């Protein structure tokens, strides 16, 4: 299947610190539309993630290991450069609130100007995850709150370990 002419790949870039069920929901639905979805773990030196790139990659892999057409990679490149290198035709981003729209719109336009052959798709997660973001998940976990409905089991276990240290 890889390398077949006409194969449609999409990338799903983000920090994923950590991945949560809203991310997984979007990935599952996008993986039905595209032949291959690649999670792209962003390595941004300006951000101070709780999990290392290697840990985030492992958490994403374990969270979506039941979906055969999903791969996980990391990069320090611009998203459109990474997409081009992977022969992806699109970038997918989650859109939770109207407040997310302005930022995602700006990024989509910039990516279009950098490479008009790469489309951006915005997808809304299931409404039960609409309030989720990785920062809230980390804060609730750090304070001992129950996040089991919002993150894959492996993520909850790793957050508990991190915050007990």
Task: Report the alpha-carbon distance of residue 51 to residue 15 in Å, rounded.
Answer: 10
Q: Out of 28, 96, 119, 162, pick the active-site residue.
A: 96
Q: Out of 9, 20, 23, 138, pick the active-site residue.
A: 23
DSSP 8-class letter at 34: S
Angle at 5 between CA 85 and CA 40, to 5 degrees: 30
Helix (H) or strand (E) holding 50: none
Asked about 164 being catalytic, the answer comes back as no
Q: Out of 20, 31, 57, 134, pick the active-site residue.
A: 134
Contact 17, 56 (CB under 8 A): yes
- Beta bridge partner(s), residue 94: 123
Q: CA dihedral in degrees (63, 66, 67, 70; nearest 10)?
A: 50
Asked about 56 being catalytic, the answer comes back as no
Q: Out of 47, 48, 113, 164, pick the active-site residue.
A: 47
- Beta bridge partner(s), residue 42: 75
Name the one residue in this structure whose structure tokens are 């999409």.
10
Asked about 47 being catalytic, the answer comes back as yes
Q: Catalytic positions, please?
A: 23, 47, 96, 134
């Amino acid at each position: 299947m890889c390398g077949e002419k006409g194969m449609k790949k999409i990338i799903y870039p983000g920090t994923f610190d950590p991945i949560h069920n809203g991310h997984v929901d979007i990935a599952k639905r996008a993986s039905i539309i595209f032949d291959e979805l690649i999670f792209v773990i962003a390595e941004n030196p300006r951000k101070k993630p709780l999990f290392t790139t290697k840990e985030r990659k492992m958490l994403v892999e374990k969270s979506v290991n039941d979906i055969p057409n999903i791969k996980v990679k990391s990069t320090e490149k611009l998203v459109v450069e990474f997409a081009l290198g992977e022969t992806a035709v699109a970038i997918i981003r989650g859109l939770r609130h109207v407040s997310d729209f302005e930022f995602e719109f700006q990024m989509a336009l910039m990516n279009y100007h950098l490479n008009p052959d790469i489309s951006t798709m915005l997808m809304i997660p299931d409404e039960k995850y609409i309030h989720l973001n990785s920062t809230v998940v980390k804060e609730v976990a750090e304070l001992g709150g129950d996040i089991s409905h919002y993150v894959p089991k492996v993520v909850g276990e790793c957050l508990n370990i991190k915050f007990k240290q």
